[in-house]
Amino acid sequence: MKRSLLFEPVKLGKLWLPNGVLMAPLTRLRAEADGTPGEMIAKYYEQRASAGLIISEMTVVSAKGQAYLNAPGMYTEGHRKGWRRVTDAVHGAGGRIFSQLAHAGRISHPSLLPGGAIPVGASAVRPAGHVHTRSGSQPYVTPRALEIGEIGGVVKEFADAARMAMEAGFDGVELHSANGYLLDQFLRDGTNWRQDGYGGPAKGRARLLLEVVEAVTEVWGAGRVGVRLSPFNGFNDMSDTNPRETFTVAAEALSGRGLAYLHIFEPVQEAWLTPRLRQAFGGALVVNGGFDVETGNAVVEGRSADAVAFGVPFLANPDLPERLRAGLPLNRPDPTTFYTGGARGYIDYPVHSPIV
C-alpha cells in the first residue's frame, strides 16, 4: 500500500516533524483575565501533541495590542510561566509547538487597552463590526495611525515577546501577518493609506513586517521563525486592491531570510495564488484553508506545499493525525463552545478507542 507523503516526516527550517499534519492557530479565549494560560490550556495542547507541529493560538505581544477578553499574552512573567506549563506538557507528550505572536492593532477597543487608549493602526481607518467587551458588544472605534517614531517600539515588542517565548520553552514562533491584525493592516492597501516609508507601494507596506521578521530572527536564529499571510481573507473588514501584487512582493521580500516556513491561508477551492507565492518565496510552504485528507494529500504529493495546517478538525479531534491516517470517523465540533470558556468543547472531545 502506498504511503502518503502527508504522514511522512517533513523538514521545516531547523525542525524535523514526524508528519505534515499541522495544528493551525485557533483562538479559544480560555486564558485568565490577565492573559495567563492555565492548566486547562496546557491540557488542551498536550492532547493534540501528535500534530507534526502545533501553532499556538494568537498571543499578543503587548497589553497595547490586545484584541479579545481572555486571549493570552506574551509580555509578563506570569505569561512566561503559564506558557512554560504548556510547552512542558506538549514536549512531555512528544510534541512540538510554535507561539503565534500578534498585535491586534485597530481590532481592539479602548476598554480593552491600558488607560482606555485608542487602538492604533496603519492608518485612521475604522473597521466595520463590533467587539466583545466587559460591558457587552461595542462598535469598533477609529484607530489612531501609528507615528513613525512609535514603530520601532512595536518592533521591539515583537522581539521581546519572541525572547520570552524562547524562555517559555517554545520550539519557534510564527508572526501573525494575517486576518486583519496590525502587520496585515500595514500590508494591505485597504487599511494602509500612509504616504511615508511604511505606505504607498507594496514594498513600503511590507516594511513593518520585514523589520519585525529581522528583529525576531535575530532572537531565534534562522529556521525557527514562520510567517502567516491571508491574501484574500476579508475577516476584520480587510481588503486589498491587488492582492496578487501585494502578496507576491511580500513573499519575494521574505525569501532568503532563513524562515522556517511561509504559512498561507487561502481556501482550498480557490487556491490560485498559493502556487505563485511558493515560487516567489522559494522555501517551505504550509497551506491552510478547509483541507481534508484527500486535498491535503494531493497538495503535498504534488509538491505544491510541504505541510498542511488543519484548524477546526483539530478542535474536535485531539488525535487527528491518526484518524486521518487510518481513515477513522471524525468527531463533530460544537461551534457553540468555540469561545465560551470552560472545559466543555475544549478538553472533553474523545480520542478514537479501537474495539478489542
**Pairing mode of beta strands 120-121, 54-60:** unpaired
In whole angstroms, give the CA distance from residue 54 to residue 259: 17
Beta bridge partners of 288: 265, 309
Active-site residue identified among 68, 75, 140, 181? 181
Contacts by 196-200 with C-beta closer than 8 Å and gap 24+? Answer: 196/148, 197/148, 198/122, 198/148, 198/151, 199/122, 199/123
- DSSP one-letter code for 297: H
Q: Are 139 and 155 in contact (CB under 8 A)?
A: no
**181 counts as catalytic:** yes
Cell 475577516: give the residue.
235
Q: How far is CA 37 from each of CA 61, 75, 83, 241, rounded to the nearest angstrom?
A: 14, 12, 6, 38
**Cell numbers linked to 2:** 502506498
In whole angstroms, give the CA distance from residue 24 to residue 314: 8
Candidates 197, 191, 201, 304; CA nearest to 249 is: 201
Catalytic center residues: 181
